[in-house]
Amino acid sequence: MQRQYTPCVRCLNKFFKDLKKMRNGSPVIIQPCLRIEILGLPLHRKGPTKYSELDIWLPQKQAQLEWYTYDSTTRELKLTQGFGEGTENALRLRVSRFEPGPGDRTAYFWTDEKTGLLRSMEMPPYFIGDMDAAKANILEFLRKSRAIYIDSLLGDASSITRKTFESALRFSAFGQSKLVSLALDTWVAARFIESHWKVFEGGEEIGAYPTTEPGHPYDGFIPVTPIMDTQLDNLVIADLLAPMREELLRRLKAKIDEKDRSNWLEIYLTLFVMMSNTGWIIKDMIAMTTWKGLKMGNRGGQLTRGYIHACKTLLSYFHYACYGSFPLTIPSDELRTGNHNMTPDQIEYMAYVQQELSRPNSKHVDWRNLDMYKDDEYWTHQLLCKDWEGDTAYTAGPIDDFDEDDFLSSSTT
């Protein structure tokens, strides 16, 4: 039978060495192939519209503004996602009214969880007319709100996760690590496309008012219009997440390729944040498909498996090319006396993680049985494993078969 794949040079050399060990009765360490390129790994969703519909729709509506009185339709809104950003840190957007054309979508649709019926809510036809200004504003919003989002969203996380993000924030302070800072920015920006944007100032000026209906998905707040939601998602993905992903993976690969032991903590913190990011993405995917009334099975999608592949690839590099979790096993007294290129805060963090992992009731002990759809720390636990293996199967239930198309519901039509 002809082989479909041939081994890379590293694997071939390792095979012959392992063959000699087996003949001599020596133990053999099984390691996965590391020739998979990390630069193309997915770290976020691709976007909310298909076939660049927004690129066609937006210029048409911008042209309309030239025929209408600009000042009479343009308003400034202040947006929040409800994570304690505050008025001073709000996302400010200037929006303008457009004339809905045939097929233009101005309503939200969802499946009622109790009745199973399709429902809708009409919104006033407003859109973001100046996307360049919006991009500058959302970059500023990311800068101001990063620590606020992390503190709010991880309030119920495990002590190890909270402590690790605190260490990452300190490590990236004052430009100490662009790589870790990029990971934190990516984590927060990915949350921008998972939560509702809420208008807390300026809604009445465009004719939008909060809903007061228990169980309603927009109960108690004013959502942005469907087209604004699409524009914001596209902006975050195309102008924040996509370029940050490329730079992050490029910098990460460079650090790994240096094979410098002093890079370990920087790589570890970066990967911890990225493993957490995937956990949040997968959990949000299930929440979104439930809201849309989608069921897994016979859909043929590979979206989640793509994220699993990305995580296992990064974990393989970490455990087999970056000293893995070994530094976390160094006794605290040796950390304090040895030359490990770490600050007192970093040494304290390492000792703290060791202490938490040694607790008999630690969730880490039974991480293989965790449900990745319910526990966003499923992947971070694997970063801490001394005996991690890439072929460990997921046993908590079936893996969904959703596809990117299940999330690409255009808000322009």
Q: What average pLDDT does this structure show over 110-134?
A: 90
Q: How confident is the model over 146-160, as pLDDT tens digits? A: 999 999 999 999 999
Has residue 6 got a pLDDT over 80?
A: no
How many residues are given for the chain? 413
Q: How confident is the model over 228-251, as pLDDT tens digits? A: 999 999 999 999 999 999 999 999
* Whether 262 contacts 288, CB under 8 Å: no
The DSSP bridge partners found for residue 222 are 199
Pairing of strands 107-111, 75-80: unpaired
**pLDDT score at 50:** 53
User: Cα torsion at 272, 276, 281, 282 (round to 10°)?
Assistant: 110
Q: CA separation (Å) from 2 to 7, 9, 36, 357?
A: 13, 19, 22, 46
In terms of C-beta density within 10 A (0-12 exposed, 13-18 middle, 19 or more buried), how is residue 352 classed? middle
> Amino acid letter at 144?
K
Radius of gyration of the chain (CA): 24
**pLDDT score at 14:** 72
Q: How confident is the model over 302-348, as pLDDT tens digits? A: 889 999 999 999 999 999 888 888 888 888 778 777 666 677 888 88
pTM listed for this prediction:
0.86
Q: Rounded CA gap, 50 and 198, in Å?
A: 25
Q: What average pLDDT does this structure show over 25-40?
A: 68
Q: What average pLDDT does this structure show over 93-104?
A: 90
Q: How confident is the model over 357-390, as pLDDT tens digits? A: 888 878 888 888 899 999 999 999 999 998 898 8
Confidence tier at 411 by pLDDT (50, 70, 90): very low
Q: Rounded CA gap, 325 and 109, in Å?
A: 46
Percent of the chain with pLDDT over 90: 46
Confidence tier at 123 by pLDDT (50, 70, 90): very high
Confidence tier at 1 by pLDDT (50, 70, 90): very low
Q: What average pLDDT does this structure show over 285-291?
A: 81
Has residue 106 got a pLDDT over 60?
A: yes
Residue ranges of domains in the chain: 53-155+195-245, 259-404
| Residue 299: closest CA among 409, 405, 395, 408 | 405
> Amino acid letter at 372?
M
**SS3 sequence of the chain:** CCCCCCCCHHHHHHHHHHHHHHHCCCCCCCCCCCCCCCCCCCCCCCCCCCCCHHHHHHHHHHHHHCCCCHHHHCEEEEEECCCCCCHHHCEEEEEEECCCCCCCCCEEEEECCCCCCEEEEECCCEEECCHHHHHHHHHHHHHHHHHHHHHHHCCCCCHHHHHHHHHHHHHHHHHCCHHHHHHHHHHHHHHHCCCCCEEEECCHHHCCCCECCCCCCCECCEECCHHHHHHHHHHHHHHHHHHHHHHHHHHHHHHHHHCCHHHHHHHHHHHHHHHHHHHHHHHHHHHHHHHHCCCCCCCCCCHHHHHHHHHHHHHHHHHHHCCCCHHHHCCHHHHHHCCCCCCHHHHHHHHHHHHHHCCCCCHHHHHHHCCCCCCCCHHHHHHCCCCCCCCCCCCCCCCCCCCHHHHCCCCCC
